[in-house]
Structures are given as structure tokens and as C-alpha cells.
A and B are shown apart, each in its own frame.
Chain A
């Protein structure tokens, strides 16, 4: 079975400061890794994904994440945040094969950007 742990439930940060949202996963098989963002009363929007290849993945809105297999981590980073980045962020894994690619999500991290 797979599981995802987001180590911080809330991350307050000032505008233009850097931010890192932490994600660790557990799986006995290879997984694909995702970060989604959810704005209030909205569905989830894909920020970025790691399928294979380069361990540094760049996504939308200036976000990037690094896959670290030895530490089973996939932390999300942004060098300078904006007020508009305030939202809930979810890390997720999927296993292709016979599970159809269903996503296993972490509990979420609420990013609050203050002026």
C-alpha cells in the first residue's frame, strides 16, 4: 500500500519570501508523484508531476519540486511567493499498473502568504 505524509499542516510566510512544502511518501513499488493546488471552493489543479527522468521538476506559477528516492521525498519549493499563492497544496502518488492511476493524497498544507 502507498501513503503520503505532508509534514506541515499550515505554513505562514511573508510575500516575496521563499517557501518549501514538505512531502514524504511510502511505497513498495515505483510511483508517480504529483503536487496539486486547491483554491477555496475550487477543484484541484495540477502544479507539477514527476514520472521519470530528471529529479528536478518545474511546474506552473514558478513552483518546482525535487524527487529524492533515497529519502522518499518530493518537496515543493518556490523562491519568492505572492499573495495569490495562498491556497491548499496537496502532494499525491499514483501507481499505474492494475490500480488505474488512482491518486493517494496527503492531508494537505495550507499556505498563507501575508503582505
Chain B
């Protein structure tokens, strides 16, 4: 069963614009993670935000978490063509907090 669901499914923007992706989940969590996947490759961890945190930054990435709404957002500022990838949120599984449960992902295309 999938905990997190990303929105939108697909996003197409121009280089230099900001990209915002959202994730909603169903049950309470200990942490939420965002991953990136280049076409045909494995996933790479981007950032983890704990349930007691509201916002976190890493370079051009900004993640927010609203546990009352059971939602998170990933903002990529000043996007580049190299940011083109699929982005997934992962939450705890009901089976165990160490088991990442993924949504269907957002496919981001950044046009040069």
C-alpha cells in the first residue's frame, strides 16, 4: 500500500523557474524523505525532514512539512536542465519506520 502520493504527476518548466512538487500521506510519520531518479537509474536521496521539523534547506532545495495536513512540498529554486528527473517522496511504512514507502513520483522536465 502506498503511503505518499506526489502531485503533480508531471511538471514542465523553463530553466531558471522554480519547481514545486507536493506529497500527501495518510498516517502519522516519523520522517519524510525526498528522492530523485534519473531516467533508467536508481534513486538518490535528496533530503530527510523529521516530523518535528517544519522546514529544511539543502542548496537549491527547500522542503516543508505540515503534519497537521499530512503534506510536504519540495521546492527546487532556479531550476536547471540537469534537474530533469523523477522525484519521489518516501514516508514510514506501517510495517516499520525504517521501511521507506514511496509514492508514484513527479516527473519534472526542465527545458533549456
A and B form one complex = no
A interface residues with partner B (beta carbon < 8 Å): none
B interface residues with partner A (beta carbon < 8 Å): none
